[in-house]
Structure 1
Amino acid sequence: MHALIMAGGVGSRLGMGEKPLVCIAGRPMIQWVIDAFSSAGFSPVVVLSSKTPYTRNWCRVHSIPFIVADGGGYVEDLMYAVRLLEEEGPVFTSVSDIPCISVGIIRAVYETYCRSGMEACSTWVPVSLCRDIGTEPRYQFEIEGVPSSPVGVNILQGSKIGEVQEELCLLLHEKKLVFNVNTRSELALLENHFQSVFF
């Protein structure tokens, strides 16, 4: 099963060049994500755009499969990649800026999705957990009666890409998933917490 790692955005809010290549503990953020999905038994494919040429070169050097989409937007690039791969079954999708994601979390999401019988799965963390760390989510929705923020890890049915899919909204009380890096202040929080969260 493929895991599409979305890395086509310019990362302007962070302002440190191409965001997937910003290093955490000596490794690019995207490498932490790719390694986690690969170790969990999935096949990562990085979805790039013309806005991320250095990430494309990094993928080439490290022999990581990639697709170059049009860069029209997250959803448009995702749909392009699924159709190019002729993916009919379920496919993981993930943002490239959650370096603390782990093998255990990925497997738990997949197993819960399989048991649910749903077509799709989205993942969320409680807003209160974000605030405990020191971040303020930009988007909130109520899941199981709890104000929650999306993680950026999903499962979709390739055969129904572009359609509304019956969705499991999975609430995860995982501190590791709070660290979605979009700004320098969020990067500083991650660097301060990395050792205690990841290891």
Structure 2
Amino acid sequence: MCGGRGSRLDRGEKPLVAVDGVPMVDRVIDAVTASGFDTVAAVTSPHAPDTAAHLDGRVPLIETDGDGYVADLTDAIDRVGTPVVTVAADVPLLAPGPLDRLREAYEGPSVTLCVPSALKRQLGVSVDTERDHEGVAVAPTGVNVVGADDAETVRVSHDARLAVNVNRPDDLAIADRLAAGLPREVSSDGPR
């Protein structure tokens, strides 16, 4: 998903904002591609024409109307079918390992991959959405599996790379610092 305006970040088209010198969308596509999924596509909108041009020829593009994240996601899913893994372009520290584990654990219902809100706060990144999961406040990561029906499971990861969604300038500064210092396959739980 890479069609957002990025208005809270205020740095132009959000997917093209660089983290440690690499556009966030490139980092996400590299992680998804390395994890071995059969097909990778980018969902774009009229709000991100430079992103669409940047990705044209690299991966198939699914152009949506730009009516918002949920509407664009629904439109894209209607076109590709389910099950499908969705990843927001603002998760620049994403690595193949968490995606591989998600794919291996998938059993049929939709999956919302979350991290403890406390981990996001410990890292200093923003917490925009929270929910309770078994008595623990968790935040969605922007990585999901959309299944064929309305059933949903929540998986909680303690992987620090999944806790960083770049929505604001402070989040970007933290992502830059972490990207420069962390190997791709290290989490808060240790090497993976």
TM-score by length of 2: 0.90
Q: CA deviation at 1:193?
A: 1.8
Q: Which moved more, 1:188-197 or 1:145-154?
A: 188-197
Q: Which amino acid aligns with 1:120?
A: S
Q: Which amino acid aligns with 1:169?
A: V
2:5 matched to 1:10? yes
2:31 matched to 1:46? no
Q: Secondary structure at the match of 2:106?
A: helix
Aligned residues: 183
Counterpart of 2:190? Answer: none
2:44 matched to 1:35? no
Counterpart of 2:117? Answer: 127
Q: Which amino acid aligns with 1:92?
A: V
2:95 to 102, 119, 134: 102
CA contact (8 A) 1:47 1:81 kept: yes
CA contact (8 A) 1:30 1:99 kept: yes
Q: Which amino acid aligns with 1:25?
A: D
Partners of 2:4 and 2:179 in 1: how far apart? 24
Partners of 1:26 and 1:138 in 2: how far apart? 25
Partners of 2:183 and 2:141 in 1: how far apart? 16
Partners of 2:30 and 2:179 in 1: how far apart? 17
Partners of 1:106 and 1:187 in 2: how far apart? 22
Partners of 2:52 and 2:126 in 1: how far apart? 31
1:102-148 CA distances to partner (integer Å, 9 max, x unpaired)?
1110011111223xxx4210011011111111124121111122111
TM-score by length of 1: 0.87
Identity %: 35
1:76-105 CA distances to partner (integer Å, 9 max, x unpaired)?
1112112223x2x31001100111111110
Q: Which amino acid aligns with 2:104?
A: E
Counterpart of 2:77? Answer: 82
Q: Secondary structure at the match of 2:182?
A: helix
CA contact (8 A) 1:176 1:197 kept: no
Structure 1 residue ranges, 4+ long, deviating more than 2 angstroms after superposition: 195-199
Counterpart of 2:187? Answer: none
Trace 1:109-120 onto structure 2 (pairs within 5 A). 109-114=102-107, 118-120=108-110
Partners of 1:196 and 1:96 in 2: how far apart? 21
2:180 matched to 1:191? no
Q: Which runs of 5+ in 1 are unaligned?
A: 1-5
Partners of 1:34 and 1:156 in 2: how far apart? 18
CA RMSD of aligned residues (A): 1.4
Trace 1:170-185 onto structure 2 (pairs within 5 A). 170-185=155-170
CA contact (8 A) 1:176 1:198 kept: no
Q: Which runs of 5+ in 2 are unaligned?
A: 185-192
Q: Which amino acid aligns with 2:20?
A: A
Partners of 2:183 and 2:165 in 1: how far apart? 14
